[in-house]
Amino acid sequence: MPATNEGARNHLESITGILSPEEIALRLGAKHQPSKPRVPGASLTDPGVVGKRWALLPDAAGAKAEVADAVSLERHALFAHNIENFIGTVKIPVGLAGPLRVNGITAQGDYYVPLATTEAALVASYHRGASVITLAGGCTTMVLSEGVGRAPAYAFHSLLEAGNFVQWCVVNTEKIRAAAEATTRFGKLKDVRFTIEGNHVYMLLDYTTGDAAGQNMVTLATAAVGAFIAESCPVKPRYFFVEGNMSGDKKASAQSFQSVRGKKVAAEVRLSRKLVERHLHTTPEKMADYWRMSALGGVLSGTLGVQGHYANGLAALFIACGQDAACVAEAAVGVTRFEVGGEGELYAAVTLPNLIVGTVGGGTRLPSQQACLNVLGLAGAGHARALAEVCAALALAGELSIIAALSAGQFARAHERLARGKKSGA
């Protein structure tokens, strides 16, 4: 968005201060003096190499004991497949929200949900929503669809070549599937779609990935597809890439919002008027009024979906349970809906189409993260769909709590009390 003339002038004055044009040019120009030493060791994690990395940071020597603590160094080999240039670990507070009663196809029972965050009031908010859901008998959850995509992209000399390439791929879909699935025991190529833009072809490969989140799995499978096509297809592209930025990976996109990326999950609950008034300190009508106004606000601001703060709970759960935290960019997209029912109760529902979660592989193997999955009872194979249902239930709990606080005028007060720790009379 372009800035106004006055806004640009005020901004430049605020950041340049009393610097002269010559001083600004000197600061912003390229500098070719020798750089500091490169960080050594790449994927090596042994304490000797860690010590060499910390030797690059003499001004941060006092921080070493907090990051490269004895436990982290003792367990250094466990991190070798999850980090490069390892210097230690950071500690994030973990709180429990719950119990959260989930009545899902795969997730069944009362869950204490571990949430890793530095934001005060977050766990308290999700805890309140979880408690109310449990008092209502739990929320219903269901995985509606699954699929993780990669979108290799091919460039040709002409539209005719692009069309002939797609025609060959359609005829040879089973061979493409075999090439992809030869790279994995658990991944399955469920669909192949094409988008042609001039002489470019985007090939959308949709996979199921078992209990893994699946990004690495589908990347390796798609690389195998590319190798097979390069060897077998008579229509040779000028060049191609394993990902053409059309899969929606780690970004909010209309495509995945309308279909699925990861797991598409819905959760719903009905709260009696008495529960709402007693435990959320508001009314179903006020919550529905707030939702209606906030839905229009979301439309007016151009958001993908309409929801309050899925990202808060999902980020905290992802970090605690070893999920790829960057996937919150796409996972925190969806729709929240509130209605007042025929008997004056509150009906609340959330639908999240982009939950990229897994219970095997990646960060789930690390000690603290596996421990948090064990807190949920969802570590290891066979639990990915249940974890996705718990994620949706948690998002629902957070929506109930934040919208109750906003509709009751308690939102700012709660943050002042919990985040600032302000004492009465202070």
Q: Is the pLDDT of residue 423 over 60?
A: no
Beta pairing, strands 305-306 & 200-208: unpaired
**At 387, is the pLDDT very low, low, confident or very high (cuts 50, 70, 90)?**
very high
**At 413, is the pLDDT very low, low, confident or very high (cuts 50, 70, 90)?**
low
**At 415, is the pLDDT very low, low, confident or very high (cuts 50, 70, 90)?**
low
pLDDT of residue 42: 87
| 331-356 core/surface letters (b: 16 or more CB in 10 A; e: else) | bbbbbbbbbbeeeebbbbbbbbbbbb
Catalogue the long-range contacts made by 246-250 (C-beta closer than 8 Å, 24 or more residues apart): 246/151, 246/153, 246/195, 246/202, 246/204, 247/149, 247/150, 247/151, 247/204, 248/149, 248/330, 248/354, 249/149, 249/150, 249/215, 249/330, 250/324, 250/326, 250/327, 250/329, 250/330
pLDDT of residue 426: 39
Higher pLDDT, residue 337 or 409: 337
Q: Is the pLDDT of residue 409 over 90?
A: no
Note whether 272 and 149 are within 8 A (CB): no
Check 211, 324, 330, 399 and give the catalytic one. Answer: 324
Q: What whole-number distance in Å separates Cα of residue 288 and Cα of residue 286?
A: 5
pLDDT of residue 420: 57
Higher pLDDT, residue 421 or 150: 150
Q: What whole-number distance in Å separates Cα of residue 384 and Cα of residue 246?
A: 25
Check 119, 181, 243, 289 and give the catalytic one. Answer: 119
**pLDDT tens digits for 241-289?**
999 999 999 999 988 888 899 999 999 999 999 999 999 999 999 999 9
Residue 119 annotated in active site: yes
Our measurement of the distance from residue 106's CA atom to the centroid of its chain's CA atoms, rounded to an integer in Å, reads 21
**At 6, is the pLDDT very low, low, confident or very high (cuts 50, 70, 90)?**
confident
All structural domains of the chain with their residue ranges: 37-91, 97-145+256-419, 152-241
pLDDT of residue 320: 98
Are 97-145+256-419 and 152-241 in the same CATH fold? no
* Amino acid at position 177, single letter: R
pLDDT of residue 274: 97
- Degrees, nearest 5: CA angle 173-174-177: 90
pLDDT of residue 425: 42
Q: What whole-number distance in Å separates Cα of residue 172 and Cα of residue 217?
A: 22
Token output for 47: 């304490």
**At 412, is the pLDDT very low, low, confident or very high (cuts 50, 70, 90)?**
low
Fold category of 152-241 in CATH: Alpha-Beta Plaits (3.30.70)
pLDDT of residue 286: 97
**At 59, is the pLDDT very low, low, confident or very high (cuts 50, 70, 90)?**
very high
**pLDDT tens digits for 88-111?**
999 999 999 999 999 999 999 999
Q: Is the pLDDT of residue 314 over 60?
A: yes
**pLDDT tens digits for 350-367?**
999 999 999 999 999 999
Q: Is the pLDDT of residue 422 over 70?
A: no
CATH class of 97-145+256-419: alpha beta
| Mean pLDDT calculated for residue range 182-210 | 96
Residue 324 annotated in active site: yes
Beta pairing, strands 139-150 & 334-340: unpaired
Residue closest to 398 by CA, chosen among 7, 159, 61, 115: 115
Percentage of the chain exceeding pLDDT 90: 87
